[in-house]
Amino acid sequence: MYVDARSLSDGERLEADLCIVGAGAAGITLAREFIGSGLRVCLMESGTFEMEDEVQALCQGAVLGAEFFPLDQCRLRFFGGSTNHWTGFCRTLEPLDFAERPYIPHSGWPFGAEHMRPFYERAHKVCELGPPTYAVEDWVDGMPAPFALESGRLNNAIYQYSPPTRFGQAYRDELEKAANVTVLLHANAVNIETPAEPDRVTGIAAATLEGKRLRIVARDYVLATGGIENARILLNANRVQAAGLGNAHGLVGRYFGDHPIVWRSGLAVFGEGYPNLEYYCRDTRVRGHLVRGVFLPTEETLNRECMPNWAMTLMEARLTDASEGARSLKTLVAQAEAGELLDGFGTHVLNIVRDLDQLAESAWHRAFDTQIRIYTTRYWCETPPDPESRVLLVEEQDRFGLRRAGVDWRLPGDFYANIVKSNRILAEEFGRLGIARLQVFPDRTPENKDDWPHIQFESSYHHMGTTRMHADPRRGVVDADARVHGISNLHVAGSSVFPTYGHANPTLTITALAIRLADHLKTKQRDL
Amino acid sequence: MELDRRDLLMALAGGTLFAATPLAPLSAAPRRDWAIVLSDLLPSNESARAVGRAYLDTEPADFDPQRLVEDLFEGQDRAEMQRLRGAVASAVRADFEAGRTVSLHGWFLSRTESQLCAMVTLLEA
Ligand SMILES: Cc1cc2nc3c(=O)[nH]c(=O)nc-3n(C[C@H](O)[C@H](O)[C@H](O)COP(=O)(O)OP(=O)(O)OC[C@H]3O[C@@H](n4cnc5c(N)ncnc54)[C@H](O)[C@@H]3O)c2cc1C
């Protein structure tokens, strides 16, 4: 059932067994799990079924650190949350992502990949994905053949695409019909109420933009407002404890992570006629499911190189991928296609490879005579959990008098070095196979940024880590059940609980964790 | 074109080819024989020089022309170009496999191919 909070009386009090704040991937998944459970669920949502400027403006905030999208443009504040825009690129986290890695401080989850497997399986259905397997052999029969990567340094792998499931649209009717679920639209959580000794939550104070005040009282509460907002709400809930709720150890908002993506991190030149590159640069439909091939480092590579996890894929290069020098060269001399994309040195490199690399010789010759195949490498990675990378409150306030969020995203000092290292690993694989040479684009510095305008990283709209999960309250905001340490009935859903991020896009894991949390809360409520 | 391996090694062993600094001695080596073999391998001479110079600019500590040539000619009585090419291609692949690569202007090249270019550069210097 849907109720518009604006239609309720000012000061109205609603009761439920479970109050979920935020109807994005996490909140909707959680609410759906309770359909028919006999428990009364109130799912509060700030917006309605379409985007409204005034509501969206509540997302505004400050960018304080590394390049980041404006805060009101990197998430959506209406029913369905950011899944109203998401691309649907999905993959489970890998066993290594859950493990504590000695070379990545603060890494590791309180449980492993095997524990997550049944939840991932259920989440696959929610996200309308294919079978819950990412083993290449389960997909490759329907795909263009990948390279035979036998060095043990890289693996072929796949990502799956969700259609993408727009959670707000896909599950709207189901929630409408659910007798035990009330979706409260236009209801903004503005405070989390606790007693003076904040060991439990006694209610959520909500408000509409028109000024109506409401109160939702439940046995259990879940914050599911997204990776930035979950921290912001806890930090702003500071009437009882000045540092905010669940923040006894100053961890709320810290360890903020996103996946920096470098759309063009290098240039790979292949001899024409070399087997299909489509595995890596095209989405392929396999038995009705859209998938994309990628290169992933093996665990051994990551452990040996002490690198955070990453992934790479290929894209056909465009003229804009060339350096300024190479582009202006084009206007001076009529160049072959290769010359348009390669600078002088790159052309020399190709000449040498053509001369020396016998196996590829014929391919190189053909390539030179006719067309060369130039691709760029797309790279994305996890950042190591860093307490200095954080969401914090800035002085500016929103319509409700709540301080806005500031995002101070920090990239690790070896971020660029790892881009080079990853491209080198790929280059060595290509060289070993005798199929290509690869140039990593130089670091973007203030001096060369105009020469290489495309060497930019972007954030990926994946806001993680700000209420990280750890069994020890000094090292995590929530425990292994996603319950805020020290507060008996407040849980958190979403990627803010990720203690380590992996390279995989987060929504599948968010959904799996929401299902896991639902199971836990059902048991908890039954035992009460 | 064929060159007797003995001739080649003689040429290499002559002079101060393997003196302490790796870069200077080649210029003192009998150039002709080397230039013939190597320039045949690398007909794109200008390109070889460009890559060779970039490699030498990195001041490589492990640039040992004697070893490079011995490795490439190993097991061959006569230096047939075709076999030499095969040996180079294998060495290049083995370099990539073992991570023996150098980065020149961001290009990851095998040590063997970079060093061959460096030899051409020095021979022509
Ligand atoms: C352009 C884009 C592309 C993306 N592509 C991918 C992709 O390919 N793969 C992938 O895995 N992920 C992708 N993502 C990220 C993905 O959308 C998020 O991971 C996912 O939506 C997070 O789910 P969530 O439920 O935690 O938060 P959200 O989806 O952000 O939902 C939070 C909900 O809480 C509501 N809310 C916030 N504050 C309050 C409040 N105070 N009171 C009441 N309600 C509140 C919001 O209105 C919103 O509906 C993409 C995101 C964007 C923007």
Give B9's contacts (C-beta < 8 A, 6+ positions apart). B69, B70, B73
Tokens of residue A191, six digits? 């405070």
A246 vs A343, more confident: A246
Q: A268 and A237, same structural domain?
A: no
Domain that holds residue A284: 261-381+414-457
CA of A314 to the centre of ligand 1 (A): 27
Quick check: B43 contacting A, CB < 8 Å?
yes
pLDDT exceeding 90 applies to what percent of chain A? 76
The reported pLDDT for the residue numbered A321 is 61
Q: If you ran DSSP here, which 8-state letter would residue A464 be given?
A: B
Q: Residue A112 falls within a domain, yes or no?
A: no
Judged against a pLDDT cut of 50, whether residue B11 lies above it is answered with no
Angle at A425 between CA A424 and CA A426, to 5 degrees: 90
- State the Cα–Cα distance between residues A283 and A143, nearest whole angstrom: 9
The residue behind tokens 């290449």 is A136
Mean pLDDT of the region B104-117: 93
- Between residues A115 and B76, which one has the greater pLDDT? A115
In this predicted model, what pLDDT tens digit does every residue of A330-342 receive, in sequence order?
A: 433 333 444 455 6
Among A251-260, A502-511, B15-24, whose mean pLDDT is lowest? B15-24
Q: Find the CB nearest A431 among B44, B96, B116.
A: B96
State how far residue A321 is from chain B, nearest Cα, in angstroms.
14
Number of domains into which chain A is organized: 2
Residue predicted with more confidence, A522 or A442: A522
Tokens of B122: 């020095």
Which chain B residues are Cβ-neighbours of A345 within 8 angstroms? 50-51, 54, 104-105, 107
Q: Are residues A374 and A436 in the same domain?
A: yes
Question: How far is A206 from A13, CA to CA, in rounded Å?
Answer: 10
Residue B44 lies in a domain: yes
In a domain, A122, yes or no: no
A451 and A476 fall within a common domain: no
Residue A113's pLDDT band, with cuts at 50, 70 and 90, is very high
Residue B68 has pLDDT above 50, yes or no: yes
For residue A189 and ligand 1, the question of a CB distance below 6 A is answered with yes
Nearest to A378 by CA among A429, A440, A325: A440
Residue A270 lies in a domain: yes
Interface test with B, best of A267, A354, A358 (most B CBs within 10 A): A358
Type of residue found at A32? R
Are residues A247 and A172 located together in one domain of the fold?
Answer: yes
Ligand 1 atom at shortest distance from the alpha carbon of A164:
8
ipTM score of the complex? 0.86
Q: Phi then psi for A108, rounded to 5 degrees?
A: 110, 145
Position A392 in a domain: no
d(CA A339, CA B115): 25
Whole-angstrom distance, CA of residue A155 vs CA of residue A341: 28
Q: Using omega within 30 degrees of 0 as the cis cutoff, is the peptide bond preceding A297 cis?
A: no
In this structure, of A222-226, A295-299, B63-67, B97-101, the range with the lowest mean pLDDT score is B63-67
Closest alpha carbon within chain B to A430: B96
Name the minimum distance, in Å, from the CA of A377 to any CA of chain B. 13
**% of chain A at pLDDT higher than 70:** 88
Q: At a CB cut-off of 8 Å and minimum separation 6, what does A205 contact? A: A189, A190, A191, A192, A193, A213, A214, A215
A434: which chain B residues are within 8 Å (Cβ-Cβ)? 89, 92-93
List the single range of A301-315, A491-505, B68-82 with lowest mean pLDDT.
B68-82
- Which of A86, A291, A466 has most ligand 1 atoms within 8 Å of its beta carbon, as the pocket-test mutant? A86
DSSP helix/strand/coil, A2: strand
Place of tokens 């190597």: B38
Judge if A87 and A208 occupy the same domain. Answer: yes
Residue A135 lies in a domain: no
A303 and A206 in a common domain = no
| Pair (A301, A214) in one structural domain | no
- Summarize the confidence of residues A226-233 as an average pLDDT: 98
Q: Which CATH number belongs to the domain containing residue A491 in this structure? A: 3.50.50.60
CA of A450, closest CA in chain B: separation in Å? 17
Residue B59, domain member (yes or no): yes
Q: What is the mean pLDDT of chain B?
A: 72
> Distance between CA A12 and CA A8 in Å, rounded?
7
Q: What is the pLDDT of residue A324?
A: 55
Quick check: A341 and A326 in contact, CB under 8 A?
yes
- pLDDT value for A457: 83
Whether B49 is in a domain gets the answer yes
The answer to whether the Cβ–Cβ distance between A431 and B101 falls below 8 Å is yes
- Which of A31-40, A74-83, A162-171, B85-94 comes out lowest in average pLDDT? B85-94
Token digits for A519? Answer: 């199971």
pLDDT at B29: 44
Residues A199-208: pLDDT tens digits?
999 999 999 9
What range defines the domain where residue B47 resides?
5-16+27-123
3-state class (DSSP) for residue A306 = coil
Q: Rounded CA gap, B102 and B55, in Å?
A: 8
Lowest mean pLDDT among A374-383, A443-452, B58-67: A443-452
Distance (Å) from CA A287 to ligand 1 centroid = 29
Domain membership flag for residue A291 = yes
Query: Do both A230 and A316 map to the same domain?
Result: no
The ligand 1 atom at the shortest distance from the C-alpha of residue A506 is: 11
Q: For residue A486, is pLDDT > 70?
A: yes
Backbone angles phi, psi at B32, to 5 degrees: -60, -55
DSSP A8: S
Could you read off the pLDDT of A442-480 as tens digits, one per residue? Answer: 655 566 656 555 557 888 999 999 999 999 999 999 999
Region B57-70: mean pLDDT is 83
Q: Residue A237 — pLDDT band, cuts 50, 70, 90?
A: very high
Residue A337 lies in a domain: yes
Q: How confident is the model at residue A102 (pLDDT cuts 50, 70, 90)?
A: very high
A392-424 tens-digit pLDDT? 999 999 999 999 999 999 999 899 889 999 999
Confirm whether B22 is domain-assigned. Answer: no
Question: Which tokens hold the place of A397?
Answer: 């306030």
Tell me how many domains chain B contains.
1
Please indicate, yes or no, whether residues A243 and A214 belong to a single structural domain of this protein. Answer: yes
Name the minimum distance, in Å, from the CA of B46 to any CA of chain A. Answer: 8
Same domain, residue pair A356 and A320: yes
A326 has pLDDT over 80: no
User: From the CB of A61, is ligand 1 less than 6 Å away?
Assistant: no
- Same domain? A466 vs A451: no
